[in-house]
Amino acid sequence: MNRSDGRSTDMLRKVKVTRKFLKHAEGSCLIEVGETKVICSASVEETVPLFLKGKNEGWVTAEYGMLPRSCETRVNREKQRSGRTFEIQRLVGRSLRTAVAMRELGERTITLDCDVIQADGGTRTASITGSFIALVDCLDVMRKRKMIRRIPITDFVAATSVGIVDGATLLDLTYEEDSKAEVDMNVVMVSSGSFIEIQGTAERKPFSKEQMDVLLGLAQKGITRLIEMQKDLLKDVQ
Amino acid sequence: MNRSDGRSTDMLRKVKVTRKFLKHAEGSCLIEVGETKVICSASVEETVPLFLKGKNEGWVTAEYGMLPRSCETRVNREKQRSGRTFEIQRLVGRSLRTAVAMRELGERTITLDCDVIQADGGTRTASITGSFIALVDCLDVMRKRKMIRRIPITDFVAATSVGIVDGATLLDLTYEEDSKAEVDMNVVMVSSGSFIEIQGTAERKPFSKEQMDVLLGLAQKGITRLIEMQKDLLKDVQ
Amino acid sequence: MNRSDGRSTDMLRKVKVTRKFLKHAEGSCLIEVGETKVICSASVEETVPLFLKGKNEGWVTAEYGMLPRSCETRVNREKQRSGRTFEIQRLVGRSLRTAVAMRELGERTITLDCDVIQADGGTRTASITGSFIALVDCLDVMRKRKMIRRIPITDFVAATSVGIVDGATLLDLTYEEDSKAEVDMNVVMVSSGSFIEIQGTAERKPFSKEQMDVLLGLAQKGITRLIEMQKDLLKDVQ
Amino acid sequence: MNRSDGRSTDMLRKVKVTRKFLKHAEGSCLIEVGETKVICSASVEETVPLFLKGKNEGWVTAEYGMLPRSCETRVNREKQRSGRTFEIQRLVGRSLRTAVAMRELGERTITLDCDVIQADGGTRTASITGSFIALVDCLDVMRKRKMIRRIPITDFVAATSVGIVDGATLLDLTYEEDSKAEVDMNVVMVSSGSFIEIQGTAERKPFSKEQMDVLLGLAQKGITRLIEMQKDLLKDVQ
Amino acid sequence: MNRSDGRSTDMLRKVKVTRKFLKHAEGSCLIEVGETKVICSASVEETVPLFLKGKNEGWVTAEYGMLPRSCETRVNREKQRSGRTFEIQRLVGRSLRTAVAMRELGERTITLDCDVIQADGGTRTASITGSFIALVDCLDVMRKRKMIRRIPITDFVAATSVGIVDGATLLDLTYEEDSKAEVDMNVVMVSSGSFIEIQGTAERKPFSKEQMDVLLGLAQKGITRLIEMQKDLLKDVQ
Amino acid sequence: MNRSDGRSTDMLRKVKVTRKFLKHAEGSCLIEVGETKVICSASVEETVPLFLKGKNEGWVTAEYGMLPRSCETRVNREKQRSGRTFEIQRLVGRSLRTAVAMRELGERTITLDCDVIQADGGTRTASITGSFIALVDCLDVMRKRKMIRRIPITDFVAATSVGIVDGATLLDLTYEEDSKAEVDMNVVMVSSGSFIEIQGTAERKPFSKEQMDVLLGLAQKGITRLIEMQKDLLKDVQ
């Protein structure tokens, strides 16, 4: 299988992260995964959702948006808040919550805003990988402001997509690959190799356990590399 | 591990399906999985979404709702249309689309309405298992009305949940089990044992590939039994 | 006049009530009036609307919904919250409030949810008759939980429709009869024979005082029978 | 019973109608019933609702609104579109449709906008009485523009409220009277004395057939006078 | 240039103000500027927006609406809350806030509701001129109720429009003139001749500094006359 | 007056434009004016608004948004679509429409999306200056695709803000300066020095004609430089 950008089947696209991309946010970055570009920001607020009031715990949540012209076709601002959007922001929030010790946050909410500037497949997994970096930078600022004693992160979190396209198992699908995939899987993992989330979908025909095992192996390989990159980027944060 | 309803870890709850439950719908059933009760109906309309106009293909979509007092606490009608709702109805629609030969439907849409009357865990998987039955009955009516020549179903589709609770891997979680699960997985499968959708989520700590394999095995066992039940129920439809 | 279901003009359809239909609600029933089926539930919340705060009184309110495929034609979930819906839920709430001694409830709200599973005319009057039963069961539960001392019901409440179809005055109209009625009247009554609400509408031509008197007599006859049925059903509640 | 404005129990408030109140509308008036003031306008559009397309019939519909400060307390513009609003505009539309021969309108819709400038009880009945006048003036303009051959009105339509306050049966209630009424009834009538709509509501305790008969008699008396006034006002329209 | 209503280019339309037009509002008027008619009301509430809580200051805000048939073509109630509406109500609020000493109001909000009954150009400027009168009457009532010690108005505020139509600079444009204007300018001024707001828009081609100077001179002339009228009207308020 | 960034009173902030910033849009740029950063994109669609159908003309419109964390405080996505937003997008659309010969566009709409990535004052004027560049690049693409014969731009358009802060007249205000300004003015100009739009607002006290003249002179000086920059940037477009 020849990929249009010349990658081998088990190769990630080029990833570039610009930390502290926004002036006002406690944490932020621009993450570029090939042509996919997402601005991730982390904002702290001194409040928690109703169901946590008085429990002396924090909360981490996410919102996801796309610029109207991030895609091939312009999408109306009103139509942005669709089912797909809700699905993605729930996934991002859930994935990052698993890596935070909520008790140490105090009664505070950290909101991760993932805004897609340009889309070429994999926006939700780039959002997770980038949000983790914004989150750590935000927690670092909170520590410096004496809001917390230490950075309450229990593990690194990153994500990628894998899929079956024309019978070949591929790592990190572009939009073009994704749109003709038979199977599409998003995987969120921690540094130990354990999973936080697996969402596998047969787009055209059902997939077997064997196919799934190959896909998961490919995903683990990719995410391991993404986490190495995160560790390298964040090595100044102790 | 003792389950509060006395089941062994690999046992489904009692499933009861009342076919043709609604007078007006082309297909419908009431599916009861333990205390979880969902009305599934299938409605045909002579229209397709904009992106399919003129392509001579059909569409299958789903909507999901809960009666305000289907749960322990009353939930406002306005709050029903939340992110969770969108996530579920997208899952149900996607799962059933995989089993239908769209070209044979003509330019028609079948909408599967899944309305939860009473909730005790597993409402989304019961919705899938029940919707499949409503869908087949709807297609049968369409065939009798000469709208289609044959029932364009490529395979049986059913779903269940599995999870890890207090370290034990369990099949078909109740609400009580689900709310303390460490890992929660929804699996949609066809009769061949291949997967249509796998959604695994670490609620408290990441899960390993080994744990996942055990969970998938358990899910396959349960869904095989659900599909046998579907085959038995629908044996009058040729 | 021959009615399509063979009833005489002054005969109710068959009424069947399944009490305690829902597991979670404080009170609930499934009421079937011919082919019309409504799930009524009563939920208690420890709050009152703003205008009653601090007045040491309770409140009773109602919401009404229809399953998308309860009717001949599927109705979109978004279109459900129409003017007709608001009109009906205001009627149901008002009718039941008249029969409750609000001071005895304490600062609590009981919400009556009426969800139409299948519609064949008379859904609003079936909602009232069924809600009364759910309400009494809810109050009985509240008494057992020592929230109230006694059941603060001042009278029984039931409702039916009457109308003029092809010149004949009919009791308890089906959808088919209702859609060709010249006059359509919904009547809510208590056991003494007094009225809580009368809503008479000329659909095609104005009606005279004489016609109205005949219709009200017919309604009284029907409601008297419905209240007898309620008394019989609830005789275990002291 | 002494009424605060000195009226006897069977007396209407002073009614004043300013015809052709708005420059742009095909028909319009300002109706003042005591301190209650409503602007009614009738607008023609060359379209009908979907369910009437191609049936060669017209439609009459109504909308109702209140200026934010028409009442004692300011009501937010967003809160204006409540259940009460929907209930009233459905009543106004239904009442006037009964008096129009739809076939003669052609495929056109007449929208009656009733905007309450100042409220002191009886806004919905003033809206009906005033809308009838705006409707006739609108039809007269349509006839002059050769859109219709003759004015397709089958009868005069007017409305008032009656009620029981402190045991006394009163005609045409002010806001103060309405807010302490035990029974509140809105009646819409044609010139023959027949009814288009009767909506009687027990606000505090059920009412008997005898009480209802007295109330209806009072309403007939009042509406007869309102229709005389309409006839006098519209005598230039042939 | 001959204006269709015979005015010279530097002449205002006839202005008529009916003070205390509404019974319930603290201050109100009907302002008529030629065929443009706006009801302005001022309502006091014992609350301030969130950002002012605890600052011991008041707030003045405005809302703007149009009756559905105030214009040549009926405009749907739902479509009323458009961008244009928001733009206008922000302008009215800002203009009047400049003339009020907020500290003297206490923690109270005065809402100015401007409801256009009939539109013929200049509705936003008529809203400002009329709202000033309603505001002063409202403050006078507040002083009489001992809520404030003195009327905390720092200057008179009025507004008009000017524009270039067929090359001629005109004062106080009608709808017909406005719709063919090359330049359209709304000006808000105080009695000293200083400006509160200038909004000049080139509708067809850019305008020069010289043209602007002529337009502003014309506006000053008109507003000076409007403020004289306000002073005369309000001379009973000390 | 010492400005916090060391600029003299009549100096613009540093402006940087990255053309063709987005892959999918027909035209786009990232414009940075000091710390203010806005992504402007231009999208063509083969449709026009209803009021232009069949008139053989095009349309240019704008939408404006802010990333939730573009400001000091996070702003909810739902609260983004406020009155301020509508006011700004109407201003941007109007300003650019004046410079386009609509007849030459054919029945097409160009939508300018202005998304603020980071805000530090002057986001609306940066949106106008940047949108002009995106618009020209979009028209250039359209010409290359043979959709139009030539670039139908009649003049260059740019904008800046001016204001009075602590008595000093300043060009191109930062957020900090804007928030303490006594007068705030946004000016849109073409290369000839004529105006497209002037919006001057007294934030604390009214401003005189003399002050306005000084402000406009300052604005003209700044915009002249911005248009020189645009001309230089776009010199490859013939």
3-state secondary structure chain C: CCCCCCCCCCCCCCEEEEECCCCCCCEEEEEEECCEEEEEEEEEECCCCHHHCCCCCCEEEEEEEECCCCCCCCCCCHHHCCHHHHHHHHHHHHHHHCCECHHHHCCCEEEEEEEEEECCCCHHHHHHHHHHHHHHHHHHHHHHCCCCCCCCECCCEEEEEEEEECCEEEECCCHHHHHCEEEEEEEEEECCCCEEEEEEEECCCCECHHHHHHHHHHHHHHHHHHHHHHHHHCCCCC
Contacts of B195 in chain A (CB under 8 A): 200, 202, 206-209, 212
The whole-angstrom separation of Cα D186 and Cα D95 is: 12
pLDDT in tens, C64-104: 999 999 999 999 887 777 788 989 999 999 999 999 999 99
Contact D202 C194 (CB under 8 A): yes
Residue C1's pLDDT band (boundaries 50, 70, 90)? low
Interface of chain A toward chain F, CB-CB under 8 angstroms:
22-25, 28, 35, 39, 41, 43, 45, 63, 65, 67-72, 74, 77, 81, 111, 113, 115, 117-120
CB A159 within 8 A of CB A129: yes
- Contacts B–C by Cβ distance under 8 A: 75
The whole-angstrom separation of Cα D190 and Cα D187 is: 10
Contact B69 C24 (CB under 8 A): yes
Q: What is the pLDDT of residue D238?
A: 72
What are residue F102's phi and psi, to 5 degrees?
-60, -35
The whole-angstrom separation of Cα A83 and Cα B48 is: 19
pLDDT in tens, A58-99: 999 999 999 999 999 999 887 777 788 989 999 999 999 999
In sequence order, the 6+-apart residues with CB closer than 8 A to the CB of E149 are E104, E143
Contacts of F92 in chain A (CB under 8 A): none
Q: What is the pLDDT of residue D1?
A: 62
- ipTM score of the complex? 0.93
Instruction: Tell whether the model's pLDDT for residue A238 goes beyond 90.
Output: no
- CA distance, residue B216 to nearest chain C CA (Å): 31
Residue F204's pLDDT band (boundaries 50, 70, 90)? confident
In sequence order, the 6+-apart residues with CB closer than 8 A to the CB of C129 are C15, C31, C33, C157, C158, C159, C160, C226, C230
Q: Higher confidence at residue F77 or residue E175?
A: E175
Question: In chain E, what are the domains?
Answer: 15-233 (3.30.230.70)
Average pLDDT over residues C49-56: 92
Is F123 a known ligand-binding residue?
A: yes
Rounded to the nearest 5 degrees, what angle is found at the Cα of B61, between the Cα atoms of B56 and B64? 170
Is D205 in a helix, a strand, or coil?
A: coil
Contact B39 C67 (CB under 8 A): yes
Interface A:D, ≥3 CB–CB pairs < 8 Å: no
The whole-angstrom separation of Cα E110 and Cα E107 is: 10
> C225 is written with which tokens?
């029978």
The whole-angstrom separation of Cα E159 and Cα E164 is: 17
C-alpha dihedral, A221 to A224 to A230 to A236, nearest 10°: -140
Residue B1's pLDDT band (boundaries 50, 70, 90)? low
Contact E206 F196 (CB under 8 A): yes
Residue F31's pLDDT band (boundaries 50, 70, 90)? very high
Interface C:A, ≥3 CB–CB pairs < 8 Å: no
Q: What is the pLDDT of residue D40?
A: 98
DSSP β-ladder status, C195-202 and D15-19: unpaired
Residue C17's Cβ-side half-sphere holds a number of Cα atoms within 13 Å equal to 25
Average pLDDT over residues D112-138: 98
Q: What percent of chain D has pLDDT over 90?
A: 91
3-state secondary structure A147-190: CCCCCCECCCEEEEEEEEECCEEEECCCHHHHHCEEEEEEEEEE
Q: What is the pLDDT of residue A143?
A: 97
Interface C:D, ≥3 CB–CB pairs < 8 Å: yes
Residue F1's pLDDT band (boundaries 50, 70, 90)? low
Q: What percent of chain F has pLDDT over 70?
A: 100
Average pLDDT over residues E88-116: 96
Average pLDDT over residues E120-124: 97
Is B214 in a helix, a strand, or coil?
A: helix
Is D168 in a helix, a strand, or coil?
A: strand
Q: What is the pLDDT of residue C2?
A: 81
Contact F200 E204 (CB under 8 A): no
- CA distance, residue D186 to nearest chain C CA (Å): 10
Instruction: Tell whether the model's pLDDT for residue A1 goes beyond 70.
Output: no
The whole-angstrom separation of Cα A186 and Cα A161 is: 4
Residue A204's pLDDT band (boundaries 50, 70, 90)? confident
pLDDT in tens, F43-52: 999 999 999 9
Q: What is the pLDDT of residue D74?
A: 94
Contact E84 F98 (CB under 8 A): no
CB D135 within 8 A of CB D157: no
DSSP code at position F207: B
Instruction: Tell whether the model's pLDDT for residue A170 goes beyond 70.
Output: yes
Contacts of F206 in chain E (CB under 8 A): 98, 155, 189-190, 192, 194-196
Residue type, E36: T
Is E24 in a helix, a strand, or coil?
A: coil
The whole-angstrom separation of Cα C136 and Cα C149 is: 14
- Contacts E–F by Cβ distance under 8 A: 95
Q: Measure Cα distances from A203 to B58, B112, B189 in Å.
A: 16, 19, 13
Closest chain A residue to F22, measured at CA: A118
Closest chain D residue to E70, measured at CA: D24
Q: Is the pTM of this model over 0.80?
A: yes
* E194: exposed, middle or buried (Cβ count in 10 Å: 0-12, 13-18, 19+): middle
Instruction: Tell whether the model's pLDDT for residue B91 goes beyond 70.
Output: yes
Contacts of B120 in chain C (CB under 8 A): 23
Contacts of B22 in chain C (CB under 8 A): 67, 69-70, 117-118
pLDDT in tens, E146-158: 999 999 999 999 9
User: Does an H or E element contain F111, and which?
Assistant: strand F109-118
Q: Would you say the C-alpha torsion C47, C50, C55, C57 has a positive or negative sign?
A: negative
What are residue B170's phi and psi, to 5 degrees?
-120, 145
- CA distance, residue C191 to nearest chain D CA (Å): 10
- CA distance, residue D196 to nearest chain E CA (Å): 27
- CA distance, residue C154 to nearest chain B CA (Å): 26
Interface of chain C toward chain B, CB-CB under 8 angstroms:
22-25, 28, 35, 39, 41, 43, 45, 63, 65, 67-72, 74, 77, 81, 111, 113, 115, 117-120
Q: What is the pLDDT of residue E65?
A: 95
Q: Measure Cα distances from B58 to C21, F172, F213 in Å.
A: 38, 57, 66
Residue E32's Cβ-side half-sphere holds a number of Cα atoms within 13 Å equal to 8
Q: What is the pLDDT of residue E1?
A: 62
Contact C72 B115 (CB under 8 A): no
The whole-angstrom separation of Cα C57 and Cα C151 is: 15
Q: What is the pLDDT of residue E76?
A: 86
Residue E125's pLDDT band (boundaries 50, 70, 90)? very high
DSSP code at position F208: -
pLDDT in tens, E93-105: 999 999 999 999 9
Is D8 in a helix, a strand, or coil?
A: coil
What is the average pLDDT score of chain B? Answer: 95
Q: What is the pLDDT of residue F197?
A: 97
User: Does an H or E element contain A92, and which?
Assistant: helix A83-97
Residue E79's pLDDT band (boundaries 50, 70, 90)? confident
Q: What is the pLDDT of residue D164?
A: 96
